[in-house]
Amino acid sequence: MPVPVNIEYILHLADNALVLGHRNSEWTGHGPILEQDIALSNIALDLIGQARNLYQHAAALMNAGEVMTERRADGARTEVTEDYLAYLRDGWDFRNCLLVELPNGDWGMTVLRQFFFSTYQYFLYRELRHSQDSELAAIAEKSLKEVTYHLRWSGEWVIRLGDGTDESHSRMEKALGQLWKYTGELFEPSGYEQGLAAEGIAVDLHKIRPLWDQRVEEVLKQAQLTPGSNEWMQTGGKHGKHTEHLGYLLAEMQFLQRAYPGCEW
Amino acid sequence: MMEKDAWPLWEIFIRSKQGLDHKHVGSLHAADAAMAIENARDAYTRRMEGVSIWVVESKYVHASNPDDSGSFYDPANDKIYRHPTFYDLPDELKHM
């Protein structure tokens, strides 16, 4: 699916939010306690709301630029919609990082992944508020308050469990071992990010990397956890090369629109 | 979750806007006060209900006994002179 780089960047941001939002929604009804079930479902809804705003923006740009729209028999063009972008693209079209598509694991792994991602999203959105794309800047401004809370919530959980019982500590160590190699991709700029960062549209990832490092180090230290030392990082999601987990996720998430195209509630 | 492992219960008070009182809105479970405030935020302020949250662990609330209601409240029934409306105000008195 060749699309202009600025649209690819918006899809990258949207896909990150949608896929993690969907992963979190898998906890709904299965949380360890009712109150935390509600908390994580709230975060899922926040992320899916951010994804909607971003997909709507991407769809508007696509329709204006006649990207991916097809000429019908009557001469009119089909419209790209937010639903199309979320529910009818295939795995290789998704530009999300591998971190967000990984299975939830246990509660410890879920909150640690959320903490890594929210820290990234917090510093990312803070910068994106100054984007030359005013629509992106507005979405970042609106989303930043939500993400600030996600960061607080997930950070508290990481500390609580890491510095908790022997059982919770060992589970957090295990989660850290599994997730650490997926954190590098967050800051590995893709082709579309590099060019757009120079134009002041995308965020320069080199700028926010030290901020992420510092915050993560502080919280992990408080949680009595040591970050993984493996330097080798898993990567590929930003270019559409995903783990096998994304296919299963999309099969479930996209089932309704694919089985009943155009279906509405 | 076994009873001995259950998180304690907390009473939640929300102030709906500046200048009003905190009102009791319900209770929830949390491991400590910080988590109780966060849980209250998620459970009770999702629809713009509040600007401030108080939490009190339920075990610290001491309540009157319903069995005492006769001796506690009934004697006030026939003491109408305790209400300001019992007294006639002189016409000269303004702004009451």
Domain ranges, ordered by start, for chain A: 5-259
Q: Is A165 on the interface with B (CB under 8 A)?
A: no
Best B35, B45, B46 residue to mutate vs chain A (most A CBs within 10 Å): B35
Q: Indicate the residue type of A43.
A: I
> Are residues A61 and A6 in contact, defined by beta-carbon separation less than 8 angstroms?
yes
* Tokens 């401030």 belong to residue: B52
pLDDT for B26 beyond 90: yes
Kindly tell me if the per-residue pLDDT of A26 is higher than 60.
yes
Partner residue facing B39 (CB), from A35, A149, A160:
A35
| A172 vs A166: CA distance, rounded Å | 10
pLDDT value, residue B18: 86
Rama region for B90: left / alpha / beta (φ>0; ψ in -120 to 50; rest): beta
Judge whether residue A91 has pLDDT over 60: yes
* pLDDT class of B2 with cuts at 50, 70, 90: very low
pLDDT digits (tens, 9 = 90+) for A108-120: 999 999 999 999 9
Helix, strand, coil distribution of chain B in percent, nearest 5: 40, 20, 40
3-state secondary structure of A200: coil
Q: Do B7 and A34 touch (CB under 8 A)?
A: no
- Cα-flanking dihedrals φ and ψ of residue B95, to 5°? 60, 40
Q: What is the mean pLDDT of residues B57-85?
A: 87
Can you read off the two tokens belonging to residue A87? 């529910």
- Contact of A167 with chain B, judged by CB distance below 8 Å, is answered with no
pLDDT over 80 at A1, yes or no: no
Chain A residue with the nearest C-alpha to that of B36: A35
Q: Average model confidence (pLDDT) for chain B?
A: 88
Nearest in space to B53 (alpha carbons), one of B88, B11, B82, B94: B11
> Scanning the structure block, which residue is given the tokens 């109150």?
A35
How many A-B residue pairs are in contact by the CB < 8 A criterion? Answer: 28
pLDDT band of residue B4 (cuts 50, 70, 90) is low
CB contact under 8 A, A36 and B39: yes
Measured between beta carbons, the chain B residues lying within 8 angstroms of A149 are 41
Question: Chain A residue closest to B31 (CA)?
Answer: A160
ipTM of predicted complex: 0.72
Superfamily name and number for B3-86 = Phenylacetic acid degradation B (3.10.20.520)
Q: Do B29 and A35 touch (CB under 8 A)?
A: yes
Q: What is the DSSP code (8-state) at residue A236?
A: -
Q: pLDDT by residue (tens digit) across A50-61?
A: 999 999 999 999
Name every residue whose Cβ is closer than 8 Å to that of residue A211 and which is 6 or more positions away in sequence.
Answer: A123
Length of chain A: 265
Q: How far from the centroid of its chain's Cα atoms is residue A92's Cα?
A: 16
- Is residue A34 within 8 angstroms of chain B, CB to CB? yes
What topology is assigned to A5-259 in CATH? Ferritin (1.20.1260)
Report pTM: 0.88
Across the interface, whether the CB atoms of A35 and B1 are under 8 A apart is answered no
According to the model, what pLDDT value does residue A149 have? 96
* pLDDT at A230 (0 to 100): 66
Amino acid sitting at position B52 = S
pLDDT at B3 over 60: no
Highest-pLDDT range among A68-72, A136-140, B47-51: A136-140
Please name the member of B31, B34, B42 whose beta carbon is closest to the beta carbon of A39: B42
Per-residue pLDDT tens for A134-156?
A: 999 999 999 999 999 999 999 99
- B13, B55 Cβ separation under 8 angstroms: yes
Q: Return the minimum-mean-pLDDT range out of A188-202, A226-240, B55-69.
A: A226-240
Label each residue of A111-165 as H, E or C. HHHHHHHHHHHHHHHHHHCCCCCHHHHHHHHHHHHHHHHHHHHHHHHHHHHHCCC
- What percent of chain A has a predicted confidence (pLDDT) above 90? 87
- Angle, helices A107-128 vs A205-222, to 10°: value is 140
In the structure encoding, which two tokens stand for residue A109, read together?
């792994």
Cα separation, A101 vs A176, in Å, equals 16
Identify the three-state secondary structure at position A191. Answer: helix
Whether B43 and A33 lie within 8 Å, measured CB to CB: no
| Residues with Cβ within 8 Å of residue B79, at least 6 apart in sequence | none
Chain B residues in contact with A35 by the CB 8 A cut-off are 28-30, 39, 42-43
Strand partners, B14: B23, B53
Mutate to test the interface with B, among A33, A152, A156 (most CBs of B within 10 A): A33
Asked if residue A11 lies in contact with residue A85, where contact means CB atoms within 8 angstroms, the answer is yes
CA pair distance B26, B50, nearest whole angstrom: 14
